[in-house]
Structure 1
Amino acid sequence: MYAIVEIAGQQFKVVKDQRVFVNRLQTEEGKKVSFDNVLLLGDGDTITVGAPAIDGAQVGAKVLKHLKGDKVIVFKKKRRKGYRVKNGHRQSLTEIVIESIAASGAKKAAPVKAEKKAEPKVEAPKAEAKKAAPKKSAAKADDLKKIEGAGPKAAEALVAAGIDTFAKVAKTDAAKLSEILTEASSRLAHLVTDTWPKQAQLAADGKWDELKELQDRLDGGVEK
């Protein structure tokens, strides 16, 4: 019978009474040691392969002595750099003798199961309370383009500033209206807003005939 077993990080094919040099073991000389990471067993024509190790299989051995292997020279050189380093190395080894190969009967320590941490419960997002929609102002925006001298751009600038009705335009000083237009765009700075509050007041009061008469006398917002 033979076995392929992992010992100290290396795999060896071993048979009974075979002497093997392995990487240094912590076991004292003369003590017995066993290896249960058996990967393959061969007994005549019967071959058992582990997945990855064979459950219950074990290789028993005895530590004969600890020693160091032959010296190995490690030489490093870099071309055209003048770099040369020479080191020697002797691997620490342990000589063991295989005493037994068992296909079953090895006692393995029960695998320690990792304790599962309780997963934090993810609470479903609470439905946000629906906020009452802000009540729209009863007053609807007026068509400020009806003011003589106020084009679409000027009307947009006033609405953006919160002045969206004839009543608000009427309550706003002409100089303030001009300032709003200038800040909105330099192209609106030339507009004359002197009569805009008066026109807006007539429109807010619904006096469209009087507004038309006033606008007939205006040219670009300026009275002729």
Structure 2
Amino acid sequence: MQALIEISDKQYLVKAGDKIFVPKQKAAAGDVIEVKTLMQVNQADSALKAGTATIKVLEHVRDETIIVFRKKRRKRFQKRNGHRQHMTQVEVLSL
């Protein structure tokens, strides 16, 4: 069974046992959180059942570097910045 869950205003299609990266959560590593389920999908049908999914916080990490480059032509202006977003890796325990 798969379910569509919502974490921090983002939606993920997951099944039990999946490990996904989500925006940083306030929970500590090892904590168990319940999030709302928007839709549950079986093999034959999809039902709009609102329920809860149980997820476990595995670790807090930082995402890959995104390069932000700005340039103004004919002015010798170039600026290069990097940005790394804070992420949380979670595991879906049950739906």
* TM-score of the pair, normalised by structure 1: 0.41
Residues 54-65 of structure 1 mapped to structure 2, 5 A cutoff: 54-55=49-50, 57-65=51-59
Higher RCO structure, 1 or 2 (CA under 8 Å, sep 6+): 2
What is the one-letter code of the residue matched to 1:82? Answer: R
Of all paired residues, the percent bearing the same amino acid is: 31
CA displacement, residues 101-151 of structure 1 (integer Å, 9 cap, x when unaligned): 0xxxxxxxxxxxxxxxxxxxxxxxxxxxxxxxxxxxxxxxxxxxxxxxxxx
Residues 87-126 of structure 1 mapped to structure 2, 5 A cutoff: 87-101=81-95
1:84 is aligned to: 78
Q: Which of the pair is proportionally richer in strand?
A: 2
1:34 and 1:78 mapped to 2: Cα distance?
Answer: 48
1:48 is aligned to: 47
Determine which structure has more spread, i.e. the larger CA radius of gyration: 1
Gapped regions of structure 1 (runs ≥ 5)? 102-224
Give 1:83 shift.
2.3
CA displacement, residues 41-74 of structure 1 (integer Å, 9 cap, x when unaligned): 101112013xxxx43x111100000011111111
Q: Which of the pair is proportionally richer in helix?
A: 1
- State the number of aligned residues: 95
* TM-score of the pair, normalised by structure 2: 0.92
Aligned-residue CA RMSD (Å): 1.2
1:81 and 1:35 mapped to 2: Cα distance?
Answer: 51
1:84 and 1:48 mapped to 2: Cα distance?
Answer: 52
Report SS of the residue matched to 1:81. coil
